[in-house]
């Protein structure tokens, strides 16, 4: 296996699923980040090592495609690849595969390094990319963006307080929590009867401990597409477009 690729097995456990027994979208993303962290550990790229360069990794965008979500007790394989990077952006891919080798989910992510000194995007230090043995490129793949919310779309909102346990070691909200805020705002009966199949999300601004955010959402339309915005006051923190299908 190339240095920029990594895989590990995992058993889906009860605290990773919803009340239908299926892996949640937030936990799917946590597992994808976990396999990339395991890869980093195997390459001696510890969090302390990255932070010693004055930066931390931050995701700016995901595109996630889901065929099926595993259930409690299922054995799965998590795979990732640090595929490409340039001066400021890194492109990473993820796969979730079942015990029979069938692809259950695929995701693409765009990552940047954020300076702790000024909380702004910084050039990616060469030392934290070298162990992947990934060749630099001029242009990275373009991920599809969330749809613009039309002016005539009615959006409701639901407030959430940002808790201490929502914060990661970069000092801001773990990106997986945004999925919980977005999906929790939808009706429970809809969530029980439908599965997300295509998710496009962009992270625009940090959310920190002690803030109150609003999860603004438009109910799924006739095409089973929902729109989501996360605001901290007047500041847009994230936006997403999610396509759904009925569960078999």
Which pLDDT does position 13 carry in this prediction? 98
Please tell me the distance from the alpha carbon of residue 98 to that of residue 137, in angstroms, as a whole number: 32
Please tell me the distance from the alpha carbon of residue 182 to that of residue 177, in angstroms, as a whole number: 9
From the CB of residue 98, how many other CB atoms can be counted at a distance below 10 Å? Answer: 15
Matching residue, tokens 């749809």: 147
Which pLDDT does position 165 carry in this prediction? 93
Please tell me the distance from the alpha carbon of residue 237 to that of residue 203, in angstroms, as a whole number: 6
Please tell me the distance from the alpha carbon of residue 8 to that of residue 38, in angstroms, as a whole number: 8
Please tell me the distance from the alpha carbon of residue 148 to that of residue 217, in angstroms, as a whole number: 13
Please state whether beta strands 212-218 and 156-161 pair in parallel, antiparallel, or not at all (unpaired).
antiparallel
Single out the residue of 190, 191, 183, 193 nearest to residue 160, CA to CA. Answer: 183
From the CB of residue 149, how many other CB atoms can be counted at a distance below 10 Å? Answer: 15
Q: CA 86 from chain center: how many Å? A: 21
pLDDT tens column, 193-209? 999 999 999 999 989 89
Which pLDDT does position 174 carry in this prediction? 87
SS3 track for 109-131: EEEEEEECCCCCEECCCHHHHHH
Assign residue 51 a region (left: φ > 0; alpha: ψ between -120 and 50; beta: otherwise).
alpha
The parts of the chain modelled with pLDDT lower than 70 are none
Contact 165, 198 (CB under 8 A): no
pLDDT tens column, 168-201? 877 778 899 999 999 999 999 999 999 999 999 9
Strand ranges for 136-224 from DSSP E: 156-161, 194-203, 212-218
């Amino acid at each position: 296996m190339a240095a920029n690729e990594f895989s590990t097995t995992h058993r889906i456990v009860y605290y990773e699923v919803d009340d239908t027994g299926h892996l949640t979208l937030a936990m799917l993303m946590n597992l994808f980040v976990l396999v990339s962290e395991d890869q980093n550990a195997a390459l001696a790229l510890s969090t302390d090592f990255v932070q010693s360069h004055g930066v931390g990794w931050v995701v700016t965008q995901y595109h996630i495609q889901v065929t099926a979500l595993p259930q409690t007790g299922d054995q799965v394989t998590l795979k990732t690849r640090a595929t490409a990077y340039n001066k400021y952006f890194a492109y990473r891919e993820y796969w979730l595969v079942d015990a029979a080798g069938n692809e259950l989910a695929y995701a693409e992510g765009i990552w940047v390094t954020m300076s702790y000194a000024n909380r702004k995007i910084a050039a990616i230090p060469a030392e934290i990319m070298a162990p992947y043995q990934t060749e630099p490129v001029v242009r990275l793949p373009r991920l599809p963006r969330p749809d613009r919310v039309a002016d005539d779309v009615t959006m409701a909102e639901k407030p959430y307080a940002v808790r201490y346990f929502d914060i990661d070691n970069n000092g801001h909200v773990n990106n997986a929590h945004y999925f919980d805020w977005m999906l929790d705002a939808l009706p429970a009966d809809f969530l029980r009867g439908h599965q997300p199949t295509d998710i496009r999300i962009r992270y625009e601004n940090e959310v920190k401990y002690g803030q109150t955010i609003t999860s603004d959402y438009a109910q799924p339309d006739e095409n089973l597409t929902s729109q989501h915005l996360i605001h901290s006051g007047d500041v847009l923190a994230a936006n997403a477009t999610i396509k759904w299908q009925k569960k078999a």
